[in-house]
Amino acid sequence: MIVECVECLGFDGMVREDNGLVRLQRVPEELRPELNPNAQQRVLSPACNELRCVGEGPVKLILSSDSTLLGVRFLGPFQHGPAITIGKEPVAIEFQPTPRLQEQLDRGMEKFPYAPYLYRLLLQGGGKLYFHGVEGVDVRSPREDEIPSRTLLTYGTSITHGAVASVPHLSYVRQLAWRLKADLINLGVGGACHAEPAFADYIARRTDWDIALLALSVNMIGAGFSPEEFYERVAYMVDTVAGQNPGKPVFCVTIYPHFRDRLPADHASQGKAVVEVYRQQLRDAVKQCGRSNVTLLEGPEILDDFGGLSSDLIHPGDLGMIRMGERLAAAIQRVISSDR
């Protein structure tokens, strides 16, 4: 999505609110009513998305939020300064190459997945993002040769959304995309990943991704879905996304390890069945689907160290996120390399 010459990667909707502010959101407005109430709100907040552009000289992106967001600047692949807080008052976030980087650009640099002169702002947080404008000379959106040649799409819970990661590029989906040399479209919906058929249809009909990762879904235990209801939804999502995109690899990840794995079966937090039953439902759905472009990955093998969790014992901390990105990248690379 392009807004005033700025590419808004991972956003797929723009709404002018009653206050006159332009809100960027991750799904089209017409999809939101078909999602559960929590998901309708979560898709209004960034999930490690990025705004990016190229300019002749300094560029300023002017943004605000109804709450608090974090933004981290990158010049192509290079992190550029600490995280910036975006709050209710509009803030102008400035980009300009450092003298040392400019010298290297003048001398000529090797090709990176992201051109070193590409201004990128990675975003995370629970608030809405309002776009007020861009300032600069000859600002334009990036060309195809200035960005990665493939795109990873991810769908899942707050873990996928990026919760607890200190900054957006330490989320496991960003760590994974970096290792795959891929752009990222993140559709994680914290606390609200219910695998609605409408969400499955939406992902399936998008044409802007090359690899899909579906992490399904601890939220459905907490929301009271029975194993049978869980199976019905994840089976539809897997078959629909993979079936309508037969040439694209789709990876399905069973529920990541968390506190329920260490509780007795009769504990009140277990929901309608122990977590392993829900993992088996996804295994069965992938097997029943029978499509050659679908691969099952086991969540406990991706986050293989329980100590990688944060103290809430469900969301990985930074070290766990990095580990997950490493292990997912290795598993995905094995599959896509063998398909060539």
The domain that holds 288 is classified in CATH as: 3.40.50.1110
Instruction: Please state the separation of Cα 111 from the chain's center in Å.
Output: 25
- 276 and 204 part of one domain: yes
Report the pLDDT value the prediction gives residue 272, as an integer from 0 to 100. 86
Place of tokens 């400019």: 102
Distance CA 104, CA 308 (A): 38
Q: How many domains does the chain have?
A: 2
Report the pLDDT value the prediction gives residue 145, as an integer from 0 to 100. 96
Report the pLDDT value the prediction gives residue 218, as an integer from 0 to 100. 97
Distance CA 124, CA 186 (A): 11
Distance CA 44, CA 69 (A): 12
Report the pLDDT value the prediction gives residue 109, as an integer from 0 to 100. 86
Distance CA 7, CA 142 (A): 7
Report the pLDDT value the prediction gives residue 339, as an integer from 0 to 100. 67
**Prediction pTM value:** 0.96
- 233 and 301 part of one domain: yes
pLDDT tens for 200-245 read 999 999 999 999 999 999 999 999 999 999 999 999 999 999 999 9
User: Any alpha helices (H) in the chain, and if so which ranges?
Assistant: 37-42, 99-107, 158-161, 172-180, 197-205, 219-222, 227-243, 275-289, 299-302, 318-338
For residue 16, give its domain range. 2-146
Q: Which of 92, 117, 146 represents a domain boundary (last residue)?
A: 146
Report the pLDDT value the prediction gives residue 245, as an integer from 0 to 100. 98
- What is the enclosing helix (H) or strand (E) of 131? strand 129-136
How many Cα atoms within 13 Å fall on the side-chain side of residue 65? 20
Going by C-alpha positions, the residue among 153, 212, 144 that lies closest to residue 185 is 153
- What is the enclosing helix (H) or strand (E) of 253? strand 250-253
Residues in the chain with pLDDT < 50? Answer: none
- 306 and 160 part of one domain: yes
- 165 and 308 part of one domain: yes
- 315 and 204 part of one domain: yes
End-to-end CA distance of the chain: 30
- 106 and 158 part of one domain: no
